[in-house]
Amino acid sequence: MKTTAYALLVCAFCLLQATWLNALKVFSVKPDLLLITMIIATLNFKPGKAMALSVYTGVLKDIFSPFPVGLHTLLFPLWSLFIIALSKKIVIDGTLLYSVLAALVVILQSIGARIVLVFLGETMPPGVFLRIMILGALYTAFAMPVIWKLLKPLIEYRDAEDTIF
């Protein structure tokens, strides 16, 4: 799949997350489709293209989120680098491993975002933070296989220049 087609698909998921997924909120938490698409791109594209897509995904998330501007633009490439380094150490090829990785990245994303918000003077009760972090990780982990099954046929037909090897 060409990188531009994937970028358009990420934009469609961004709009879906900002609009229709609000109806599927559980305790004010919904799955993070943009984080899922960033993880899938990182695991299936060359590192350079994966980093570019993670920055693009972070910018889109910053546009549609109430967090400080630039937070996701900085954190998404960081998680992409983490995933690239992790994928060199272990093989991440199953749907279950994709889901576990998504949950782990959501937990790290929540912790990183809360640290930044504490430094900016915004506080949140620990119970609320833990609820949002755990439910967000579980919800995103459960959504990962659905999004992966949707994107897998498209990724398998990508051009030879988009492959990792």
Cα 109 to chain centroid, rounded: 9
Asked if 40 and 2 count as a contact pair (C-beta separation under 8 A), the reply is no
pLDDT of 78: 92
- Name the residue type at position 137: A
Options 1.10.1760, 1.10.3470, 2.40.128, 1.10.10; CATH of 3-159: 1.10.1760
* Residue 158 pLDDT > 60: no
pLDDT band at 165 (very low <50, low <70, confident <90, very high): very low
pLDDT band at 19 (very low <50, low <70, confident <90, very high): confident
Neighbours of 80 (CB within 10 A): 25
Which two structure tokens, joined as six digits, stand for 115? 């640290």
Q: DSSP assignment, residue 120?
A: T
- H helix runs in the chain, sequence order: 3-18, 33-44, 47-64, 71-89, 95-119, 126-156
pTM of the model: 0.84
pLDDT of 59: 92
Residues 132-156: pLDDT tens digits?
888 889 988 998 888 888 888 777 7
Residues 107-124: pLDDT tens digits?
998 898 888 888 888 888
- Main-chain phi, psi angles of 111, to 5 degrees: -65, -45
pLDDT band at 56 (very low <50, low <70, confident <90, very high): very high
